[in-house]
Amino acid sequence: MAATWSSTKTPHVYMATYDGGQVVRFAKQSEVLEVLHDGEDLPVGIAVDGTHVYWASQAPDGSLRRAPLAGGPAETLYTGFLAPWKIVVEDGAVYVADQFAGHVFRIPLNGMPAQQVAHQMGPLGIALDESHIYSADAEGWAITRAPREGGGAAFAIADAEDPIDIVVDEENVYWTEGEGGITAMQSKTGGDPPIVLKSGQRITSAIEQDDTHIYWTESGGGRVMRVAK
């Protein structure tokens, strides 16, 4: 299936199948996939709000796209990324990690200009809380934190080998380490050694969370995994 990114903020899990060029979803208690959009060009970085599903494309134009959850045609919101990966929709804007640009971009949904709000060596996954942006910095081999509104330096809160994706809850940061096949966690303030939730997997990638579980994709095994918090 080669599902690379997922979102669990609704009763469904949404995924972009990078190799298959599809945006799909399935109910959390079901294994039946529903194809929402087909023929997409290298889709990654899926996110969901109350009305739309959003994803990025790693085609040469590096675009941000969305489609209504109720069905309907997809539209392009922004082009010009070098290598977009994880996206997060929050407070009327979409945040996009661009690995090759070394920035996290904020794309307002009201049509205002895009902004660079965080800089790392090569961010892949990102997550937000009320005050900070957390990044899986694949080039810097670190889990980092930076002010959400920009203007401050990012600093490492944990070392990570080949970090791919990241999520946060009120207290902790959770991430995957792709080639190492590891899923790990750490407090958002850092300081303590990371806790390994699962190891020995075949290329872990996307990670998400809800009130009760952590979910992630094992791309090498074509599986979606979960563990209770």
Q: Are 78 and 64 in contact (CB under 8 A)?
A: yes
d(CA 41, CA 60): 9
Stated pTM of the model: 0.86
How confident is the model at residue 143, as a pLDDT?
96
User: 3-214 has which CATH code?
Assistant: 2.120.10.30
The string of pLDDT tens digits covering residues 72-120 is 999 999 999 999 999 999 999 999 999 999 999 999 999 889 998 888 8
- Asked whether residue 1 carries a pLDDT value surpassing 50, the answer given is no
Question: What is the sign, positive or negative, of the torsion defined by CA atoms of 132, 145, 80, 4?
Answer: negative
Q: Tell me: the pLDDT tens digits for 10-21?
A: 788 888 888 889
Q: How far apart are CA 70 and CA 205, in angstroms?
A: 28
Q: For 185-207, what is each residue's pLDDT tens digit? A: 999 988 889 999 999 999 998 88
In this structure, which amino acid lies at residue 172? N
Please say whether the beta carbons of 214 and 183 come within 8 A: yes
Residue ranges of the domains in the chain?
A: 3-214
Q: Tell me: the pLDDT tens digits for 121-153?
A: 899 999 999 999 999 999 899 999 999 888 777
Residue-level pLDDT at 17: 86
